[in-house]
Chains A and B, each alone.
Chain A
């Protein structure tokens, strides 16, 4: 559907705009160069959803702008077969004072529909947007969710061959989001291709057939979502390492008598090699300890909290009857290895170092939110909720006698 060949976009940086003009009309060069996209090639196939990920400044927006041809490439070319519609920042091109109805015509024309086409589809558009009688009111009375619904409906019914979705679906309530996802699937099964840009790794894994990873303007990897996202995670964790908080001890969410100290808490998925992992992935949590005194019968504990700060799981060496003795001026690492059988979302880890079962008697060191990690995507069967039970499901016919 879309062929991108050796696409390069170089922004020229000038001291001022006069230099920019001078260069246009005279031969002399006045600029420095900034390469936003470097030699990008890929194909987008029919009925395919291609995800694009990358850190901020990796060149995602520039690439999208090149694809919708708002910017012109410096080298290379883009061949698209069919209408490309972008859902970039929904609602650009709405006139605040015109009614929703008028705006359907305005916006529709802008994204390339003929007025005849709009007339034919206007009822379906209004219907899908669920705006009802509000359609006659001026846009300025709309909530942001209503605007988004209208814009999405227009984009959907313009029946693009290629739809570009840029984090836009995060507006709107759950009901409409589901409706959108369903409608997109249906259109996709017919003939549409989607380019999906998001930082929401879970939805990328769910929606995309392939994912492309951009880094510093270049394609680092393109292919199977799981693999590419892991590579992205690896990139992130490398950057995080560089700016790792050096001392946990004196941070505000830590306390204790510091006879022994938790130096560092780390989490790493076996597959992803980073702290963004799939549900069900085998994961190791490392708690690195340094002791200032000789102490026996120490307990090392961790607790996992969800985004509402609710403890969803906690354990320690005491429960597991693991004997931990610390010697003066020695370093230790305590490893908790488990299958991360929890639902998608963001979590934090709290770590603690104390004696006996809990930290009330003698607490050496306690750190809240020592580490953040994220569950994105699922290994094996999908599920909903926080807790991954592993049911065996059987299904059989009941003979009449048993009734």
Chain B
């Protein structure tokens, strides 16, 4: 087990190299796409649609609101999707070499988390650039990011185990993620839907994480500990489910990939 986790680290290292070989801008691409998205949303929502936040007086208020949510979502969805497709992507290897699938899964967790850290750091860099208020509450970002990554990872594993049985899932997962993105208050404000559909917001596990980032970025607000605890609980629950299903289903999956 330990050896295989160590393997995950070395895969992660390779993964970085593999993903960006033959590209002249290398790792920059990972950051370019969310930056462009942030730019687009800022222009559309804040300039054309005149969406303003009443709570702060900064002229960048909307961008400050948008940046953490969008970065967190990018990491969340990429991590989930990549883990979910692992048996398809590595089928050739898993058929021939005795390397447990979870080594590959963990390696994705590691790479995506590192990229998440880098992009969040750049997000904070943006705040520094516009001379916005930053204090020690920003340290809460780290544990929440870790928790979020584990949550996305665990969900990804559950999906991954079913993908070999229902190959259509490969197409369904991105659509599902797209829908999830739009029911989560990331580009729009929570208040805009809360009155009409409170359950969408309350029952959305991803929003628990995203809400915390947004509050920290905008108001430097200490996270609500009951919320954090809930997040910890359901992350744990999904992780355990994933582990149970993994043990039960992997021998079967080996027969059919």
Contacts and interface: CB of A to CB of B under 8 A. Distances in A.
Contacts of B18: 95, 97-98, 106
B96 to A, nearest CB: 5
Nearest to B162: A21
A20 B257 CA distance: 13
B255 to A, nearest CB: 6
B165 interface: yes
Interface string B1-40: 0000001001100100110011000000000000000000
B114 interface: no
Nearest to A108: B10
A166 to B, nearest CB: 10
B17 A102 contact: yes
Contacts of B128: none
Most buried by A among B11, B97, B249, B251: B97
A88 B17 contact: no
B254 interface: yes
Most buried by A among B10, B98, B166: B98
Given A17-B166, A20-B252, A70-B254, A110 B97 contact: yes
A111 interface: yes
Contacts of B97: 68, 70, 86, 92-93, 110-111
B171 to A, nearest CB: 16
B14 A89 contact: no
A24 interface: yes
Interface residues of B, number: 27
A97 B18 CA distance: 8
Contacts of B135: none
Contact of B96 (A12, A21, A70, A138): A70
Interface stretch (B54-62, B78-86, B87-95): B87-95
Nearest to B164: A17
A302 to B, nearest CB: 47
B99 interface: yes
A92 B256 CA distance: 19
A21 B254 contact: no
B120 to A, nearest CB: 29
Interface in A11-43: 11-12, 17-18, 20-21, 24
A105 B94 contact: no
A110 B256 contact: no
A110 B92 contact: no
Contacts of B166: 17-18
Nearest to B94: A70
Interface in B164-190: 164-166
A203 interface: no
A71 interface: yes
B11 A109 contact: yes
Given A71-B254, A102-B17, A110 B165 contact: no
11 contacts: A11-B255, A21-B165, A24-B248, A24-B249, A68-B98, A70-B96, A72-B251, A92-B96, A98-B17, A109-B7, A138-B22
Given A70-B94, A70-B96, A97-B18, 4 more contacts: A71-B254, A93-B93, A102-B14, A105-B14
